[in-house]
Chains A and B, each alone.
Chain A
């Protein structure tokens, strides 16, 4: 009995420690954003956020370029989400339901692209972008981000479609529905949770992307938040509170969305990884 009690307490403590480790850096971002200079550089730093200073978020958005950065990130992320899911649904469907020449090769290519480092592809893509005049444009980033996230989107959706009984489609086909109608009317509604999950993955893949953005964008006005915030790191002039406020605003939507759909994202990612 006593041993059990001790075990329970130890377990609670362990869970709390894990949660503390997981949450603390984000919390610290908030505390830093909301600290006065005196608190930041005092012998004893302030450990709780000073809610009275909440205006720092408004200031960070109003004064700096942060609002523009976040808007650029939003455009890139929405574009990537639409394009990669739009191309990923038919690809996943083809991989799941048809046998065709080159299918094995295509699957290998999809898996292979998962291991290519973005940094390796920067140089050849830079050349390609120059030829197609896609440098220094948000469109270019949408295209390249979509290409990098498309394989995982397609593999996850393939896994989801694999799970739908074929009888449902057969009935519709027997009634004379075209393949595209079958996909959009039968499969898409049934895999809606997986589509939502891949949309979130695609959105935040582009939202977080840094290497291509920093290399392909030259105009300060077109910088996404990842590049803008990264430039803060080397800069000495910007107050750390502003830096943290912008970074917090950049992090919050990602975390909030993942918390909302994490169940689907995780099951989708494992299914995509395992069955891929």
Chain B
């Protein structure tokens, strides 16, 4: 930042007009005065707990007796990585995250393209589409569970009516259908965000280029590929990254709809971590599982930055 040099605040004000600057601390300390309260806050409620959590992951600690923890080195990590259940959790997390990213960004793009053309009532349509994003997760989990209710849920009644019903209707109790149902609910909640962000990216696509391409006889797909896609590509990349992080963290929707079940069919890393801590009462394992999640996030973020940089340089197409 060159702000200080430009404004000259620290130097010039010291000079003849000392009276002009009544601040007794001088401007060297000014930024710290502004940021100290917030930084202290983040330190106490985020940084310190995180460090404690890292420490916990190397210990054996029981929830019921947390002050008595025993350093066990990598034992927690060895155990979870040797556990086939944890492999399944990793696989489910992977499926969940990929499906959320593809589903939310894909659906968002389709909706954004639909709403991008001017038509009467577009403002209303845009507002209505944001509803799922604004709805609280608890309410979404509740209404989704009711709509998927085995006997009286509207979804089962509709599926039955078209002959596609799940036997017994127990979608959320079925190891096969629970994950798709939870995924559909998650994507329903996420797509408004991606579509609104993509909609604003689409606004910066030059219209004359679009028209020129159409005049030259380019089809719809060719125009999209040549004109629209290059403009929105960075936004799509950013959204993919955001969706990855958000779905890795996502807890309440899955927890309230299925608690990770049936038989672990919807158990993502975060669900596994929470049940390790509060059902099995093993804080060390829970912390280790959390660390795996954090490391995955870090790899994704670093990887995406590297890819973005390579793309900028033109090494990768």
Docked pose: A25 CA to B142 CA in angstroms: 10
Docked pose: A247 CA to B142 CA in angstroms: 8
On chain A, the residues within 8 Å of B3 by CB distance are 97-99, 166
Which single member of A87, A176, A215 contacts B41 (CB below 8 Å)?
Answer: A87
Interface pair A25/B143, CB less than 8 Å apart:
yes
Docked pose: A98 CA to B45 CA in angstroms: 25
A152 to chain B, nearest CB (A): 11
Docked pose: A61 CA to B132 CA in angstroms: 24
A109 at the interface (CB under 8 A from B): yes
* Residue-wise interface mask of A (221-253) relative to B, using a CB-CB cutoff of 8 A (1 in contact, 0 not): 000011001101100000010011001101100
A62 at the interface (CB under 8 A from B): no
Docked pose: A114 CA to B241 CA in angstroms: 12
**Interface stretch (choices B80-88, B122-130, B175-183, B221-229):** B122-130
Interface pair B136/A25, CB less than 8 Å apart:
no
B231 at the interface (CB under 8 A from A): no
Interface pair B125/A15, CB less than 8 Å apart:
yes
A136 to chain B, nearest CB (A): 17
A154 at the interface (CB under 8 A from B): yes
Docked pose: A66 CA to B6 CA in angstroms: 56
On chain B, the residues within 8 Å of A15 by CB distance are 114-115, 119, 125
Docked pose: A258 CA to B134 CA in angstroms: 6
Which single member of B39, B154, B287 contacts A28 (CB below 8 Å)?
Answer: B154
Interface pair A147/B249, CB less than 8 Å apart:
no
Q: Which residue of B lies closest to A179 (CB)?
A: B30
Which single member of B48, B56, B137 contacts A123 (CB below 8 Å)?
Answer: B56
Interface pair B56/A259, CB less than 8 Å apart:
no
On chain B, the residues within 8 Å of A58 by CB distance are none
A259 to chain B, nearest CB (A): 5
Answer whether A45 and B157 are a contact pair too, CB < 8 Å, given A122-B277, A204-B134.
yes
Which single member of B20, B37, B139, B249 contacts A229 (CB below 8 Å)?
Answer: B139
On chain A, the residues within 8 Å of B290 by CB distance are 117, 119-120
On chain B, the residues within 8 Å of A51 by CB distance are none
Q: Which residue of B lies closest to A97 (CB)?
A: B3
B270 at the interface (CB under 8 A from A): yes
Answer whether A100 and B32 are a contact pair too, CB < 8 Å, given A28-B143, A251-B136, A262-B130.
yes
Interface pair B274/A127, CB less than 8 Å apart:
no
Answer whether A127 and B42 are a contact pair too, CB < 8 Å, given A32-B146, A258-B130.
no
* Residue count of chain A within 8 Å CB distance of chain B: 93
On chain B, the residues within 8 Å of A232 by CB distance are 142
Interface pair A90/B133, CB less than 8 Å apart:
no
Answer whether A88 and B146 are a contact pair too, CB < 8 Å, given A19-B125, A100-B32, A173-B9.
no
Which single member of B1, B7, B117, B248 contacts A11 (CB below 8 Å)?
Answer: B117
B210 at the interface (CB under 8 A from A): no
Docked pose: A28 CA to B143 CA in angstroms: 8
Interface pair B274/A91, CB less than 8 Å apart:
no
On chain A, the residues within 8 Å of B197 by CB distance are 266, 269-270
Docked pose: A274 CA to B97 CA in angstroms: 21
Q: Which residue of A lies closest to B23 (CB)?
A: A178
Interface pair B34/A98, CB less than 8 Å apart:
yes
A1 at the interface (CB under 8 A from B): no
A180 to chain B, nearest CB (A): 8
A14 at the interface (CB under 8 A from B): yes
Interface pair A247/B35, CB less than 8 Å apart:
no
Docked pose: A15 CA to B110 CA in angstroms: 10
Docked pose: A40 CA to B44 CA in angstroms: 50
Interface pair B136/A208, CB less than 8 Å apart:
yes
On chain B, the residues within 8 Å of A120 by CB distance are 53, 270, 273, 287, 290, 293-294
On chain A, the residues within 8 Å of B46 by CB distance are 109, 113, 116, 121, 147-148
Which single member of B31, B39, B130, B157 contacts A98 (CB below 8 Å)?
Answer: B31
Interface pair A23/B49, CB less than 8 Å apart:
no
On chain A, the residues within 8 Å of B252 by CB distance are 210-211, 230
A264 to chain B, nearest CB (A): 12
Which single member of A25, A98, A123 contacts B286 (CB below 8 Å)?
Answer: A123
Interface pair A210/B152, CB less than 8 Å apart:
no
On chain A, the residues within 8 Å of B277 by CB distance are 119, 122-123
On chain B, the residues within 8 Å of A258 by CB distance are 130-131, 133-134
Q: List 24 A-B contacts (CB under 8 A).
A: A22-B132, A25-B188, A90-B33, A91-B35, A94-B31, A99-B3, A117-B273, A117-B290, A123-B277, A123-B283, A124-B49, A150-B41, A166-B3, A170-B7, A178-B21, A179-B27, A230-B138, A251-B136, A254-B136, A255-B134, A255-B135, A267-B200, A270-B200, A273-B242
The 4 A-B residue pairs whose C-beta atoms are closest, nearest first, are A147-B45, A258-B134, A124-B49, A98-B31
What is B's interface to A at a CB cutoff of 8 Å? 1-4, 6-7, 9, 13, 17, 19-23, 27, 30-35, 37-39, 41-42, 44-50, 52-53, 56, 63, 66, 111, 114-115, 117, 119, 125-147, 152, 154, 157, 188, 192-193, 196-197, 200, 238, 242, 245, 248-249, 251-252, 256, 270, 273-274, 277-278, 283, 286-287, 290, 293-294, 297-298, 301
